């Protein structure tokens, strides 16, 4: 644990990061920007796991390992998302959100 910092402050920081990511996800108009916001969300949750592990269960390692897996999955997901964006760009020459709204009523 970090000397002098209570768990509450760290959790506050991660919550703020999480909601900034949510805000970005809903507000942005570019697909890549949305991807960036998703990264923020994932990272915020990863810190959460780690901090809870360190502060409440220091002799167990589940939180750390879970965060490693989160990072791995995030990497895979980002790679796939980028490939989809590229394919889409080839079809419609645009990465705006408003051009991919065809699956509606």
Q: How far is the CB of 66 from another protein (least distance, A)?
A: 9
In the range 54-73, which residues lie near another protein by CB under 8 A? Answer: 54-59, 61-62, 64-65, 67-69, 71-73
Q: Which residues, including other chains, have CB under 8 Å from residue 10's CB and lie 6 or more apart?
A: 2, 47, 51
What part of residues 86-105 is at the interface with another protein (CB under 8 A)? 86-87, 89-90, 95, 97-98, 101-105
Total residues contacting another protein by CB under 8 A comes to: 81
Residues 27-56 contacting another protein, CB under 8 A: 27-30, 32-37, 39-40, 43, 46-47, 50-51, 54-56
CA dihedral 18, 84, 75, 40 (to 10 degrees): -10
CB of 99 to another protein, least distance (A): 11
The DSSP result for 85-99, as a single string, is HHHHHHHHS--BGGG
DSSP, res 3: T
């Amino acid at each position: 644990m970090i000397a002098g910092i209570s768990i509450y402050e760290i959790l506050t920081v991660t919550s703020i990061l999480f909601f900034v990511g949510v805000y970005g996800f809903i507000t942005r108009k570019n697909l890549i920007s949305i991807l960036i916001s998703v990264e923020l969300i994932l990272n915020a949750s990863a810190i959460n796991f780690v901090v809870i592990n360190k502060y409440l269960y220091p002799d167990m390692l589940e939180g750390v390992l879970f965060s490693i897996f989160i990072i791995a999955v995030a990497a895979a997901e980002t790679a796939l998302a980028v490939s989809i964006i590229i394919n889409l760009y080839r079809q419609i020459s645009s990465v705006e959100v408003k051009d991919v709204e065809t699956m509606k009523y």
